[in-house]
Amino acid sequence: MNVQFPFPELSCDQYSIRMSDFSPDQLRSADVTSFQYPLFVRLETLADKAAAGHHDLSERIVGAPLTSWIQCQTTCAVVGEPSNIEEDSCKVVRQRIWVHELFYDLQEIYGITEANQASHGEGDFSADCVVCLTNRKNTTVLPCRHFCMCNECAKALLRRTRTCPMCRLPISSVLQIQIQQGPVS
């Protein structure tokens, strides 16, 4: 069933669907190869080019192919076993963004949450580089996605061993990330 909820920018509205309209099997199974998931949330907005082209989101139909004047984030999820009688839990399985006519799969970066929430108090070293233990982490190792080093140590590691200090898998590249300090909201 396709349901569309147009809403104004920054409206913070909440929308709900009746879960009783679906069988538990329909809500808990996904086919990753055909990109079919029981819960599929696609948030669309106009790209910068859209204002000049006089396009409007109201002309879009549910599930229409994406165009150059659209940017979107798609979240695919399954419904998990209920943790209590009144609520089902929802597990995000995949996220993609569509920007400038290209899809990008969003993937978790291991260790970035802990580094961002670190208070940097005495005995709290979760934000420190695992190689030099002095600088703050700011670099992710690819393809394993461990956020574990400062950029200086990453450059030195690429010249020498080219293996991740966390899992020892070969490094294909590194990605420096500037994270906002403070708790994640």
| Lookup result for tokens 């080093």 | 149
Summarised one tens digit per residue, pLDDT across range 176-185 is 988 766 554 4
Strand intervals (E) in 47-182: 70-79, 90-99, 102-106, 139-142, 146-149, 173-176
Return the bridge partners of 97, or none. Answer: 73, 104
> What is the token pair recorded at 157?
């590691």
108 against 156, higher pLDDT: 156
| Lookup result for tokens 């790209």 | 47
Summarised one tens digit per residue, pLDDT across range 46-95 is 877 655 577 777 777 777 888 888 888 988 888 776 655 556 677 888 89
Stretch 5-25: mean pLDDT: 69
24 against 130, higher pLDDT: 130
182 to 61, 93, 117: CA distances (angstroms):
40, 27, 6
Position 59 scores a pLDDT of: 75
| Lookup result for tokens 């419904």 | 79
CATH for 112-176, options being 3.40.50.300, 3.40.50.2300, 3.30.40.10, 2.120.10.30: 3.30.40.10
Say how many CA atoms lie within 13 Å of 164 toward its Cβ: 21
Position 127 scores a pLDDT of: 85
61 to 17, 18, 48, 68: CA distances (angstroms):
19, 22, 20, 16
Report the alpha-carbon distance of residue 46 to residue 39 in Å, rounded. 23
Domain residue spans of the chain: 19-106, 112-176
Position 55 scores a pLDDT of: 78
Closest C-alpha to 156, from 135, 127, 179, 177: 135
CB 138 within 8 A of CB 110: no
Summarised one tens digit per residue, pLDDT across range 85-142 is 556 677 888 899 988 888 888 888 888 877 766 655 555 677 899 999 999 999 999 9
Sheet holding 39-46, edge to edge: 39-46, 70-79, 90-99, 102-106
Stretch 4-31: mean pLDDT: 70
